Amino acid sequence: MLDRSAKGVFVIAPTPFLPDGALDLDSADRMTDAFLAAGASGLTLLGVMGEAPKLTQEESVAFVARVLKRVAGRVPVVVGASAPGFAPMKALARAVMDLGAAGVMVSPPPGLKGDEAVVSYIAQAVETVDAPFVLQDYPQLSGITMTAPMIARMAADPRVVMLKAEDWPGLDKLTAVRRLEAEGKMPRIAILGGVGGQFLPEELARGADGIMTGYAFPEMLVKVCELIWAGKRDEAQDLFDAHLPLIRTEVQPGLGLAIRKYVLKRRGIIAHDTLRAPGPKLTAETAGEVDYLLGRLSRVQPLKAAA
Amino acid sequence: MLDRSAKGVFVIAPTPFLPDGALDLDSADRMTDAFLAAGASGLTLLGVMGEAPKLTQEESVAFVARVLKRVAGRVPVVVGASAPGFAPMKALARAVMDLGAAGVMVSPPPGLKGDEAVVSYIAQAVETVDAPFVLQDYPQLSGITMTAPMIARMAADPRVVMLKAEDWPGLDKLTAVRRLEAEGKMPRIAILGGVGGQFLPEELARGADGIMTGYAFPEMLVKVCELIWAGKRDEAQDLFDAHLPLIRTEVQPGLGLAIRKYVLKRRGIIAHDTLRAPGPKLTAETAGEVDYLLGRLSRVQPLKAAA
Amino acid sequence: MLDRSAKGVFVIAPTPFLPDGALDLDSADRMTDAFLAAGASGLTLLGVMGEAPKLTQEESVAFVARVLKRVAGRVPVVVGASAPGFAPMKALARAVMDLGAAGVMVSPPPGLKGDEAVVSYIAQAVETVDAPFVLQDYPQLSGITMTAPMIARMAADPRVVMLKAEDWPGLDKLTAVRRLEAEGKMPRIAILGGVGGQFLPEELARGADGIMTGYAFPEMLVKVCELIWAGKRDEAQDLFDAHLPLIRTEVQPGLGLAIRKYVLKRRGIIAHDTLRAPGPKLTAETAGEVDYLLGRLSRVQPLKAAA
Amino acid sequence: MLDRSAKGVFVIAPTPFLPDGALDLDSADRMTDAFLAAGASGLTLLGVMGEAPKLTQEESVAFVARVLKRVAGRVPVVVGASAPGFAPMKALARAVMDLGAAGVMVSPPPGLKGDEAVVSYIAQAVETVDAPFVLQDYPQLSGITMTAPMIARMAADPRVVMLKAEDWPGLDKLTAVRRLEAEGKMPRIAILGGVGGQFLPEELARGADGIMTGYAFPEMLVKVCELIWAGKRDEAQDLFDAHLPLIRTEVQPGLGLAIRKYVLKRRGIIAHDTLRAPGPKLTAETAGEVDYLLGRLSRVQPLKAAA
């Protein structure tokens, strides 16, 4: 089970598909192995990057079941359960918790009006899933603002164990939450950064316990955490900077997932870079640009994933 | 099966729930009877008003199955199948068409960029559901603009049989589509109006074949169509105007469905006015306002639904 | 000067233009006379309906000056001063207050994040204009939510004298504000309704002190207020209902102002129905629909404005 | 005058303020000198980054006049003239063209519906300003999509000389425009990239003629263009990569301008990093992060601007 002491790199996994769009569960196994070999402290399934809304309920559960089986308890697995209604949220949350998930992640939906409505929605969501709860703060997608004092109120429920901090810009909010904790105004919760890894060094310096993101080279994320926590900030930044051109390419809205699947395929982590429709396709020009960046990156980072 | 000659009043049905939030299938039967007794030419299930995203897939299919059984082929039943991915759209469309639905209704999703992307999305959606297709033009919800020339292009596929015209303002677009048809630039399709019934007389005068909406007194909609088509415009407008204060109250965003369920309950059409969470609750003040309007309306319209 | 005891009908005036788009200051005079003859308790200039952003600063001031001169102190005149920066807001507010305006109206701008940011913005705006302040709550336009508790906080500054309540739906919020006042949690402020007049009877019943809107027959708004305050609710509703079909037509987003100017021209209140570009044009069909409604309305309401 | 052969780096200049918020015209001079010394091929004033909507009309003109005087015709100066109405757009465009600007830049406003409405708006805007026209494609801000075929239609007017390509992701669109030109479907226009410089090497490789952005080290942008055009792609990328951590920091929405002004101040280019209210403030933490990045950058790039 996930608790407030969680830390490290939680890799957000895509959902692999065969060229015809069917679930590719063999790739799910290989991907699980690769992420664990890269040093992941946890996995996150069915996030935005997991194309969750394009899966049927059965497929969602089948994919989660397969990954959980492969993980076999070695690391906690978080499952995204955001839904327009509490009934389907509850159904999915129960199913995946019964299968062995460590917690669920929920973002408030678009359209809530005012701070109070957001705080109240999350309280109901926590009650609904009744499991270790990861609060996803992703305003670019949800359109919902969560300020530090709102997060403090939500964290009063002990089931809220983790904040996935995905606001952009969001570093000052991260600092503000840690400050409220230090002032005794809220319990200390786990905070993992996000936004594609773009601000990992700063997030860690501001007090994040790690990061939850889907960048295609999670071993870099792991190493940067280690270096920063060992006080080697410059060395961490050097490594980070070498990856930044690719990170910048991956975080492009709409296109990013296609690029990530392309890189994961080139790394041998998944067999196909298929996205379910509707979804973007990589042009030859974009693929060429990614190839060029991968070539440069290979000076410091092997392309092929460790087995 | 739905075809391009469809006309009249298609009633958008809510999904009735018991006080604990479970499906109320007995109310589904009673509601079906009441809408048919009111003169409905068709029914529409799992629309926005049907709280579709708050249902699990099993519940959606169970509700559709129950209504279809009760309708027993007397009128066509359209089922909403908008979904973030084509895989769940296909799954639902197949399930309901197999059960006997007459067609499916789909709106383009938020986020499509540019006319071409919308036209192309709909072409793929039609291919995906491969059934009589109702094109839902509801920009207040989808954020997507469909101009008359775009609709003409979409209507080139013979499976696109009907336009649910829900833009606001949308009357000039309705005229523009009919003009393109008259000029031979697109085939004639069925057009049903919407926006809660607020512009029914004008929609019909502009060439709509009827209306698809969830106003709680569908018998008025039926009667206004009859009067207009009999050339009795003033008489139609008199009847319409008597209902307009309630229509105005029902079309309030967010709150409208709660008001409709309240009225349907007061009419004896459904047993409970329960909405699934998250959803608004009627205050005593709002209920009192609706009661006042129902009292005034009773001068021209019996409150209790015909059996 | 505007204070918290303001009540009645504040007519939101359009900005009249000549056919070539130049300011039509003669129409401004005639319009001012007509609105005062209709019983207006106040006027509002340079609102959304006044095409304010399409005016140069000089034109804005020239128009306000002309109306103020014509009003000659008989009723308070509120001027819209929303702006993306406090510098132009201050410049306009000073200019119009020096000319004799009674107060300024400001809406928070799109993009503010969280309740605190909105409250803080308004506090700065009040400081900036340093004049009787009308708080415009118009979320359909601003995208900003103001809850009753937020309004209570803003009203702590004695310069905040009036709330223009334009949320939709917004009646329960109006009640909530009046409740906070009754509980001593905020001072009593003037509240004028809005949303084109669609809910005038309900707004008054919920405790509004009148309405601020641009409906083209302000004499109806005045009469409904009188009737309601005299306890004649049914009579008020009868009069209101006769106007509702036209109100419904005027509140259509984008198109509404063109319709209002058309009606004001037909009433002899302004000379031309010109809108500044970019702006919509009325089709012949829409004009015909409005003419039909005006014909029906003439059974209870003379078309020509009183001089 | 700007024409379709324009190329190189057009620096988007901020508007410098004194600590009390007044225009800082001395800094405007120094900034102009610094940008020209850095190798700018042009300057752009009153863009989003120029806090244009926070200036009064007089201030806008005063600032433009000062910069134009200092430039003294050495490079073309483009002035942003987007406005909610054509009347203020025309007034500003005429004023700045009379002062010696080389062209104006306009973005379509939020709210236009459908491709046709956008193309038609731009046609009217070009007619309105009647000057060399820079089409700003900045959907993150405007919410407006411009596809390559739409751009082709707009470019049919010979006054449309340049596209500022600011879509994100936007590289494939850039390629699509160049392809339409190569196919003879539109005239060749100047294209300058944007998005804060994040994709400069790729933009140039896709056929951009340079970049128009406000990154605080324009000398890097100039050098990267030179290297790429000299065929030294790897060398260009090395230089670019060294700046990417700071670029990433500067492009954060909302906060970015505050960071840029802070850097420009540290470089000695402007005297104060004042933003006009409402606007964000840099926290000590953020300033510290920027300082750290500037320190690292100093290994390849002097902090102090060349005089």
Instruction: Kindly write down the DSSP assignment for every residue of D285-306, as one continuous string.
Output: HHHHHHHHHHHHHTTTS-SSPP
Q: Is B72 a residue whose pLDDT tops 90?
A: yes
- Measured in residues, chain B has a length of 307
Report chain C residues touching chain D, CB-CB < 8 A: 21, 51, 53-57, 59, 83-88, 91, 109, 121, 124, 276-278
Residue D49: the pLDDT is: 87
Say which residue, C53 or B236, is predicted with more confidence.
Answer: B236
* Chain B residue nearest residue D146, CA to CA: B114
What is the distance, to the nearest Å, from the Cα of residue D295 to the centroid of all Cα atoms in its chain? Answer: 26
* Measured distance between the N- and C-terminal CA atoms of chain B, rounded to whole angstroms: 27
pLDDT tens-digit series, residues A144-188 = 999 999 999 999 999 999 999 999 999 999 999 999 999 999 999
Domain that residue D162 falls in:
8-231
Q: Is B160 a residue whose pLDDT tops 90?
A: yes
The mean pLDDT value for B112-136 works out to 97
Does B139 contact D113 at a Cβ distance shorter than 8 Å? yes
Q: Are the beta carbons of B115 and B147 closer than 8 angstroms?
A: yes
Which of B168, B244, B286 is facing C172, going by the closest CB pair? B286
Q: How many CA atoms lie within 13 A of B36 on its CB side?
A: 16
Does A113 contact C147 at a Cβ distance shorter than 8 Å? yes
Strand ranges for chain C from DSSP E: 8-12, 42-45, 77-80, 103-106, 133-137, 160-165, 190-192, 210-213
Residue A57: the pLDDT is: 87
Q: Which residues of A are annotated as a binding site for pyruvate?
A: 212
Chain A residues near residue B276 by CB distance under 8 angstroms: 85-87
A84 pLDDT band, cuts 50/70/90, is confident
Question: Which of C46, C276, C281 to mutate to probe the D interface, most D CBs <10 Å?
Answer: C276
Chain D residues near residue A289 by CB distance under 8 angstroms: 171, 202, 205
The mean pLDDT value for D116-130 works out to 97
Q: Is C113 a residue whose pLDDT tops 90?
A: yes
Residue B233: the pLDDT is: 97
Report chain A residues touching chain D, CB-CB < 8 A: 168-169, 171-172, 175, 198-199, 202, 205-206, 234, 237, 241, 244-245, 248, 252-255, 283, 285-286, 289, 296
* Assigned domain for C169 exists: yes
The mean pLDDT value for B247-259 works out to 96
**pTM here?**
0.96
How many structural domains compose chain B? 1
Chain A residues near residue B83 by CB distance under 8 angstroms: 53
Peptide bond into C132 cis (omega under 30): no
Q: Which residues of D are annotated as a binding site for pyruvate?
A: 212
Q: Is A280 a residue whose pLDDT tops 80?
A: yes
pLDDT tens-digit series, residues C153-187 = 999 999 999 999 999 999 999 999 999 999 999 99
Q: At what angle do helices D171-182 and A284-297 cross, to 10 degrees?
A: 130
Own/partner pairs, C226-231, CB within 8 angstroms, 24+ separation: C228/C201, C228/C204, C229/C204
Residue D256: the pLDDT is: 94
Helix/strand/coil for C45: strand
* Assigned domain for C283 exists: no
Residue C306: the pLDDT is: 81
Pairing mode, if any, of strands B210-213 and B190-192?
A: unpaired
Which residue in B70, B73, B72, B75 sits closest to B11, CA to CA?
B75
Q: How far is A121 from chain C (nearest CA, A)?
A: 15
Q: Which two structure tokens, joined as six digits, stand for C272?
A: 């031309």
* Chain B residue nearest residue C201, CA to CA: B289
The three-point CA angle C261-C267-C269 to 5° equals 70
List the single range of A57-61, A77-81, B239-243 with lowest mean pLDDT. A57-61
Q: Which two structure tokens, joined as six digits, stand for D169?
A: 């992701």
Question: Which of B18, B54, B128 to mutate to probe the A interface, most A CBs <10 Å?
Answer: B54
The overall average pLDDT reported for chain B is 96
Which residue in A107, A111, A118 sits closest to A81, CA to CA?
A107
* Assigned domain for D18 exists: yes
pLDDT tens-digit series, residues B265-274 = 999 999 999 9
The mean pLDDT value for B6-18 works out to 98
Say which residue, C49 or B117, is predicted with more confidence.
Answer: B117
Does B150 contact D113 at a Cβ distance shorter than 8 Å? no
Q: How far is A29 from chain C (nearest CA, A)?
A: 41
Chain D residues near residue A172 by CB distance under 8 angstroms: 283, 285-286
Q: How many CB atoms lie within 10 A of CB B197?
A: 28
Q: Are the beta carbons of D13 and D44 closer than 8 angstroms?
A: yes
Q: Give the residues across from A10 on adjacent strands.
A: A42, A212
Chain B residues near residue C171 by CB distance under 8 angstroms: 285-286, 289
B31 pLDDT band, cuts 50/70/90, is very high
**Residue C268, by phi and psi: left (phi above 0), alpha (psi -120 to 50) or beta?**
left
Report chain C residues touching chain A, CB-CB < 8 A: 113-116, 139, 145-147, 149-150
pLDDT tens-digit series, residues D18-27 = 999 999 999 9
Q: Is B120 a residue whose pLDDT tops 90?
A: yes
Q: How far is A95 from chain B (nearest CA, A)?
A: 13
* Assigned domain for D298 exists: no
Which of B168, B206, B252 is facing C252, going by the closest CB pair? B168
Check residue C54 and report its DSSP letter.
G
Cα C107 from Cα C212, distance rounded (Å): 14
Question: Which of D115, D138, D150 to mutate to probe the B interface, most B CBs <10 Å?
Answer: D115
- CATH number for the domain including D78? 3.20.20.70
Which residue in B63, B74, B75 sits closest to B29, CA to CA?
B63
Cα D88 from Cα D125, distance rounded (Å): 11
Does A83 contact B53 at a Cβ distance shorter than 8 Å? yes
Which of B172, B206, B285 is facing C206, going by the closest CB pair? B285
* Assigned domain for A91 exists: yes
Residue B49: the pLDDT is: 87
Which of B87, B121, B278 is facing A56, going by the closest CB pair? B87
Residue D4: the pLDDT is: 98
Does C55 contact D85 at a Cβ distance shorter than 8 Å? yes
Chain D residues near residue C277 by CB distance under 8 angstroms: 85-86, 124
* Assigned domain for D293 exists: no
Check residue B41 and report its DSSP letter.
S
pLDDT tens-digit series, residues B193-241 = 999 999 999 999 999 999 999 999 999 999 999 999 999 999 999 999 9
* Chain B residue nearest residue D114, CA to CA: B145
ipTM confidence score: 0.96
Q: Is A139 a residue whose pLDDT tops 90?
A: yes
Residue C57: the pLDDT is: 87
* Assigned domain for A210 exists: yes
Which chains sit next to C, with 3 or more Cβ pairs under 8 A? A, B, D
Q: Is C268 a residue whose pLDDT tops 90?
A: yes
How deeply is D32 buried, as exposed, middle or buried, from its count of CB atoms within 10 A (0-12, 13-18, 19+)? buried
The overall average pLDDT reported for chain C is 96
The mean pLDDT value for D108-121 works out to 95
The overall average pLDDT reported for chain D is 96
Which residue in D123, D110, D119 sits closest to D83, CA to CA?
D110
Q: Is B180 a residue whose pLDDT tops 90?
A: yes
pLDDT tens-digit series, residues D148-194 = 999 999 999 999 999 999 999 999 999 999 999 999 999 999 999 99
Which residue in B292, B247, B255, B300 sits closest to B273, CA to CA?
B255
Q: Are the beta carbons of D224 and D240 closer than 8 angstroms?
A: yes
* Assigned domain for D40 exists: yes
The mean pLDDT value for B181-202 works out to 98
Q: How many CB atoms lie within 10 A of CB A58?
A: 11
Q: Name the percent of chain D lying above pLDDT 70.
A: 100
Spatial neighbors of D232 by CB under 8 A, at least 6 apart, are none
Chain C residues near residue A150 by CB distance under 8 angstroms: 114
Chain A residues near residue D296 by CB distance under 8 angstroms: 234, 237
